[in-house]
A and B are shown apart, each in its own frame.
Chain A
Amino acid sequence: MKILAVTACPTGIAHTYMAAEALEEAAKKRGYDIKVETRGSVGVENELTDAEIREADAIILACDTAVPMERFEGKKLLNVSVSEAIKNADELIDRSLNANIYKPNVKNQENISSSEPNKKEPTGIYKHLMNGVSYMIPFVVAGGIAIAISFLFGYDSASNEGSLAAYLMGIGGGTGAFGLMIPVLAGYIAYSIADRPGLAPGMIGGMVATQINAGFLGGLVAGFLAGYIVLAIKKYIKLPKNLQGIMPVLIIPVLGSLSTGLLLFYVIGTPVAAINNGMNNFLMSMSGTNAIILGAILGLMMAVDMGGPINKAAYAFGTATLTAAVGTGSEIMAAVMAAGMAPPLGIALATILFKNKFTKAEIEAGKACWVLGASFITEGAIPFAAADPIRVIPSLMVGSAITGALSMAFKATLAVPHGGIFVFFAVENLVGYIISIVVGTVVTALLLGVFKKNIAELAAQSK
């Protein structure tokens, strides 16, 4: 017989370990194999691996605090208090072998919920992605709405130090909620892969991805990198038992963060900078070509990585034309902004039209996307793109390309660098401009409807 157990108590000083000892003794008496994961104040020790869980005959949870449960799906699971394990360890061993099979409570899995009651839990890469995205959504929504409210006071009133608009930008912008967005995405992807020890390396990796302007795609890379690096550290670095306490507090955070961060800087950072440079040069060489083609290209670029090196190059190109065209508006800036508004707006429309292709959390976030899209906060689309990049990003690119091309075709101009509908007063040929945005939005939404799979199907497939 092979039995696994997890012990945890609120202070994590004594009872966690007493319960572990009691269970180990009790199992030994019967000649059973046992491994006990202790979750005390020294961190998680003796962590159970997926392979061990697969082979185990039963699991005993002697915990007075919440512990990760998903991993025990389909196993016999006995859930008791810590004190019960200390008191009746012998009896628990027997009871665990006759315990009920554990099924995760679907209601508790908000982040991947759907309307179907018997849906299977998604696993693997999709599960990790969804975990990161579900934690990121509130940051995107809170940050985006704060920025949008700041725009209400005028598109550039945030530059007045000490004004409410500036504070709102501070809460929502790159030094506030939006700055946390990518680290949280990366952190919780890593958390999903490697549990609690993954969080710090993941978040730090996400921060590095932001520093090297790698955008949310860089954040995805950082999250997966950190998660699997931490798993590898846990697997391959073995310390003598009396030093094991320093694994979670010293070895994993330091080694995990350093290796994730340095890999990002050295391996990911160089191509990202090269892409940004290359794109800048490419756009410069495009000046003078057909305006409609340029608009389409800018649209593709705005939507491909939303905040990454390509998007940044397109946006910088747009603002540069503003400086060149002092006083009068710029057609290119107008196309750039329109193309940046279409992705969140298209997603918002898609969450209304195709409810079965989005999770509940996504449908809720879709409502906020109306406001974010209208405010030219393209980041609103990131959670959706991060959750399903291969299907979502091309849809967004096509929609934005159409918007960019139409905006150029209508010769709409814009005299300011951002603000969405709040700066429509600064748009020439507003009717044509609005048509461009609406058409791109509808195209984006329809493409999402075509490409995205039903949530239930997706979950079943990734099994």
Chain B
Amino acid sequence: MLINERLVLLNSKAKNREELIRELALLAYKDGKISDIEDYIKAVLKREAEYSTAVGFGVAIPHGKSDSVIDPFLAFAKSEDIDWDAPDQNPVDIVFLIGVPEKDAGSLHLKILANLSRKLMKEDFRNSLRNIKTSAELLDFLNKSELGF
């Protein structure tokens, strides 16, 4: 499983993008997905610096490939509006944080992340995410979405 209920944050109060990335990375760290949290965050922020991972429609998918990632993971947060330097200028309130081991390019979980990226372009999918109330509901929804995990 890429995601579990310990990797879900439904009411983040983070004020900016780094704070939110840190909150989610901490969840992943506590869940044993990352060995060195600072190293991982550095990889994610470096990626953000290239260009924003906000994709518009209030969604961002920060991600980093790093040796500190033990297991590939997906963490989810719903937050208050955060400025994420989005291409459409909209603030972000839905965030998927993705962690992939550096040496692990080309395997199945990347395929899943590709599927997730495609789904995020659909309005229905985003609306459903915004209406989700509990982590169980989220996991159930993601399972039903045929992302392949």
Co-assembled chains A and B: yes
B65 CB within 8 Å of chain A: yes
By secondary structure, the A interface counts as: helix
Tell me, in angstroms, the Cα distance from A179 to B111 when the chains sit together.
37
B73 CB to nearest chain A CB (Å) = 13
Interface segment, one of A11-19, A167-175, A379-387: A11-19
How many A residues touch the partner, as a band?
A: 20 to 34
List residues of B (77-127) whose CB comes within 8 Å of A's CBs. 87-88, 98, 100, 105-108, 110-111, 113-118, 120-122
Name the B residues within 8 Å of A18 (CB-CB). 55, 117-118, 120-121
The reply to whether B87 and A83 contact each other, CB–CB distance below 8 Å, is: yes
Question: Are A13 and B148 interface neighbours, CB within 8 A?
Answer: no
Residue in B55, B65, B100, B107 whose beta carbon sits within 8 Å of that of A86 in the complex:
B55
Q: Mark A12-51, 1 if CB is under 8 A from B, else 0.
A: 1111111011100100000000000010111100000000
State A21–B125 Cα separation when bound (angstroms). 13
The answer to whether the Cβ of A249 comes within 8 Å of any Cβ in the partner chain is yes
Q: Please determine whether A11 and B114 come into contact, CB atoms closer than 8 angstroms.
A: no
Partner among B88, B108, B118 whose Cβ is within 8 Å of the Cβ of A17 = B118
Q: Which of B55, B111, B122 contacts A15 (CB 8 A)?
A: B55
B63 within 8 A of A: yes
A245 CB within 8 Å of chain B: yes
By CB atoms of chain A within 10 A, which of B56, B98, B107, B114 has the most?
A: B114
User: Which residues of A are found within 8 Å of B107, using beta-carbon distances?
Assistant: 245, 249
Q: How far is the CB of B38 from chain A (nearest CB, A)?
A: 20
Interface pair B121/A21, CB less than 8 Å apart:
yes
Per-residue B-contact encoding for A327-359, CB less than 8 Å = 1, 0 else: 000000000000000000000000000000000
CB distance from B106 to the nearest CB of A (A): 4
A138 on the interface (CB 8 Å rule)? no
Given contacts A22-B121, A242-B148, contact A13 B63 (CB under 8 A): yes
Q: A residues within 8 A CB of B106?
A: 41-43, 245, 248-249
A40 and B53 alpha carbons, distance in the complex (Å): 16
Complex-state Cα separation, A38 to B53, whole angstroms: 18
* A residues in contact with B53, CB < 8 Å: 14-15
The reply on A394 being an interface residue by CB < 8 A is no
Contact flag A17-B114 (CB < 8 Å), given A86-B55, A86-B87, A87-B88: yes
A291 to B19, CA, bound (A): 86
Determine whether the beta carbon of B121 is less than 8 Å from that of A11: no
Establish whether residues B113 and A13, one from each chain, have CB atoms under 8 Å apart when the complex forms.
Answer: yes
Q: How far is the CA of A12 from the CA of B117 in the complex (A)?
A: 11
Whole-angstrom distance between the Cβ of B114 and the nearest chain A Cβ: 4
Chain B contact residue count (CB 8 A cutoff): 29
A278: Cβ under 8 A from any B Cβ: no
Q: How far is the CA of A248 from the CA of B106 in the complex (A)?
A: 9
Q: Are A42 and B114 in contact (CB under 8 A)?
A: yes
User: How many angstroms from the CA of A34 to the CA of B98 in the assembled complex?
Assistant: 29
Known: A13-B100, A14-B63. A38 touches B56 (CB 8 A): no
| Beta-carbon contact of B47 and A11 below 8 Å | yes
Which residues from B are CB-within-8-Å of A41? 105-106, 110
> Does A176 sit at the interface, judged by CB under 8 A?
no
The closest CB in chain A to the CB of B62 belongs to A14
The reply on B141 being an interface residue by CB < 8 A is no
Chain B contacts of A25 at CB under 8 A? Answer: 121-122
How distant is the Cα of A242 from the Cα of B149 in the complex, in angstroms? 11
Given the contacts A11-B63, A242-B148, A16 and B114 also touching, CB distance less than 8 Å:
yes
* A16 to B121 Cα, complex, angstroms: 12
Q: Are B118 and A245 in contact (CB under 8 A)?
A: no
Q: How far is the CA of A13 from the CA of B101 in the complex (A)?
A: 12
Contacts of B56 in A (CB 8 A): 86-87
Q: What is the distance, in angstroms, from B85's C-beta to the closest C-beta of chain A? A: 11
Please report the C-alpha to C-alpha distance between residue A251 and residue B144 in the assembled complex, in whole angstroms.
29
A42 touches B111 (CB 8 A): yes
Q: Known: A83-B87, A87-B88. Contact between A13 and B50, CB under 8 A?
A: no
Nearest CB in chain B to that of A43: its residue: B106
When C-beta atoms are compared, the residue in chain A nearest to B59 turns out to be A18
Chain B residues with CB under 8 Å of A17's CB are 114-115, 117-118
Q: Which chain B residues border A122 with CB–CB below 8 Å?
A: none
Contacts of B114 in A (CB 8 A): 13-14, 16-17, 38, 40, 42, 245
Judged by a CB distance under 8 angstroms, whether A389 is at the interface is no
Cα distance, A245 to B110, chains bound together (Å) = 9
A83 close to B51 (CB less than 8 A): yes
A-chain residues with CB within 8 Å of residue B122 when the two chains form the complex: 21, 25
| Bound CA span A20–B115, Å | 11
Please give, as numbers and ranges, the residues of chain A lying within 8 Å of B50 by CB-CB distance.
Answer: 10
- By Cβ-Cβ distance, the 5 closest A-B pairs, closest first, are A21-B118, A17-B117, A245-B111, A17-B114, A14-B117
Can you offer 29 A-B residue contacts whose CB atoms are under 8 A?
A12-B105, A13-B114, A14-B114, A14-B116, A15-B53, A15-B55, A15-B117, A16-B114, A17-B117, A18-B118, A18-B121, A21-B118, A25-B121, A25-B122, A40-B114, A41-B105, A41-B106, A41-B110, A42-B111, A42-B114, A83-B51, A83-B87, A86-B55, A86-B121, A87-B88, A242-B148, A245-B110, A248-B106, A249-B106
A residues bordering B, Cβ < 8 Å? 10-18, 20-22, 25, 38, 40-43, 83, 86-87, 242, 245, 248-249
